[in-house]
Amino acid sequence: MKHSMHNQEQEMDTHHHDEPVEDLEIKSWFRKVILAWLFTIPIAVIMLSERIFGVMLIPEEYFVISLLFLAFPVVFVFGFDIIKGGLKGFYTFYFNMDSLIALGTVIAYLTGVFSFFGIIDDYSGVSAMIMSFFLTGKYVEAIARGRASQEIKKLMELGAKNARILRNNKEMEVSISELKIEDIMIVKPGEKIPTDGIVVKGFSSVNESMITGESLPVEKKIKDNVIGATINQDGILYIKVTKLGKDTFLSHIINLVEDAQGTKIPIQKLADKITNIFVPSILVISLLTFSGWFYFTQDLSRAIAVSVAVLVIACPCALGLATPTALMVGSGIGAKKGVLIRKGEAIQTMKEIKIIVFDKTGTITKGMPVVKAIYSDVKENYLLEIAASLERLSEHSIAKAIVDKAKLRRFREVKNFKVLRGKGLEGDIGKNKFFVGNAKLMKENKIKLEDFEKTIEKYESFGYSTVIVSSDKKVMGVIGVADAVKEDSVSAIVFLNREGYRTIMITGDNERTARTIANEVGIKEVIANVLPEDKARKIEELQKTGMVAFVGDGINDAPALKQSNVGIAMGTGTDIAIESGDIVLVKGSLTGVVDAIKLSKATFRKIEQNLFWAFAYNVIAIPVAIAGLLHPVVAEIAMALSSITVVTNANLLRRAV
């Protein structure tokens, strides 16, 4: 199939970017098939009328020359790439699928030339039939490949074509290609966001389902990042352009999917090696078949026909399609589900995984704290109102959690506000002085904690950070804040435990906090107090007991992602983590790990089935051909059917996942 790859490369250099390469390839094969059959059908009519009905449509003296004339363009013009690519193996000693077809059709064509000398019967018409069936098979394969990569085409089509921008305080519409970094785009409700950017004005919800697979819209406010091709829903957004062209998230996804579809996994490399041994072996078998038939029958024509049938039926096209087609379909489905397979080998390795190690923050948890519990001597709303009015003036992530929990439309005015580093905050609201912070801050200000000590101890045993709120030397209440577990982490871990995977959590946090989170999601083993640089070493130790997949999202996870047998990166994480992963989970959800496992197993199962069918056809059909029971044209039809079987089976993967 190298010739078709060569064609593709040439077409990629010249094709218009509005038309995908696969479409050009399909059109190219379609033209060849139509033209080939325009010449082959008259050949079939002439041959069948003479050999079956004994009717000569062409005078006998012009019979062979007519067949040679009609067959020539089919074999040497429309089939030129196949002949060229196939015969190349005979001087490079690297044989491919086309080597057998090229040799078979050229020999069959030459029988017509030698028939003039009365040496053998004419099979030149058969050469055109073989080539036409072969070209038809290639066309069917191209359609299947095109269908397999439709997900990429759909992704490419998702992008907006134009953008509305503000330039020199004027609103104007420009083509996407004219956008510049730091342009301000105006996106109205119902419109696609033209490219990646950051919200500088406005508030809205954005449908990101095409990227994350998540059906619920995501709220966007000032300083939030947005992704090109997602759809703005209900408010006007002013967005500053941060990425263009190949740097955008969508382009990154397309590149990841294309790279995965082009990679060779270990089983494919094995199939390639087998092909390179198989083809010369068939050439030897074909030569021995010819010798045997000629020796026992003394019929040169029959010997050539049988040996050509062996060459044709043995063509291992299906073998070459078995892995790439399944991999293309699998990675395409993955892209749709938000599971990007960056490296094809992960498909094969994933099924051997026994241990799955999870980073905690940003992977199992959201990576941002939320209020988990409140204990108060005053009304809860009042406590939150006071705490949030002070905390909104702080940049700390715990402060954000309390402000989010309070959901206040108006905050109380705070005077004499101070940030007390490592301890908390103080400020005056009305006539009262308030402190919001840890036990150390309370003790320094001689505020008694006796009535709240048990609550504080309980919260800390859960791994919560405690925020104490006090006024006039008296504690009003305690707020427990902790990193929230992602909604679907529990169901994902339950599934993995049920399937027999050994699940482990690794974190730099203390043992108590780590155990709390692990218990919440159902992970039995915890490796706590691990320094970032030691994560990869811990993975290496675990690899002595089995194949390890590591799931992480941060810069400090990159070495562990590389060290593991399969690195699974959260798409919501850092760029370096994503680049280090073999599989990327776009929506940053652990259900993606479950999807990745199911997808890799289903895809590999299809690859194994395809390889079985590819070999089965050859194993059954070659002895039949050697026995002289297969006409070369029938052999070519059977060979084409084997390729169609493999392609169809790969596409059934869509139902399996």
Active site residues: 359
Q: φ and ψ at 180, to 5 degrees?
A: -130, 155
Cβ atoms within 10 Å, residue 382: 13
Which structure tokens are listed for 98?
């086309």
Beta strand pairing call for 218-220 and 237-241: unpaired
Q: Residue 446 — left, alpha, or beta (φ > 0 → left; ψ -120 to 50 → alpha)? A: left
> Do 355 and 560 meet the contact criterion of CB atoms below 8 Å apart?
no
536 CB-near residues (< 8 Å, 6+ apart): 559, 560, 562, 563
Q: Name the maximum alpha-carbon separation found in the chain.
A: 120
Nearest Cα to Cα of residue 508 among 495, 483, 527: 527
Which structure tokens are listed for 167?
């330039």
520: enclosing H helix or E strand: helix 511-521
> Do 257 and 331 meet the contact criterion of CB atoms below 8 Å apart?
yes
Residues 173, 254: Cα–Cα separation, whole Å: 26
Nearest Cα to Cα of residue 321 among 644, 656, 652: 644
Q: Residue 500 — left, alpha, or beta (φ > 0 → left; ψ -120 to 50 → alpha)? A: left
Nearest Cα to Cα of residue 560 among 568, 550, 548, 569: 550
Which structure tokens are listed for 468?
């104490």
277 CB-near residues (< 8 Å, 6+ apart): none
- Burial of residue 511 (CB within 10 Å: 0-12, 13-18, 19+) is middle
Beta strand pairing call for 465-471 and 225-226: unpaired
Residues 408, 412: Cα–Cα separation, whole Å: 10
The neighbouring-strand residues paired with 172 are 165
Nearest Cα to Cα of residue 465 among 398, 365, 376: 398
Q: φ and ψ at 429, to 5 degrees?
A: -125, 115
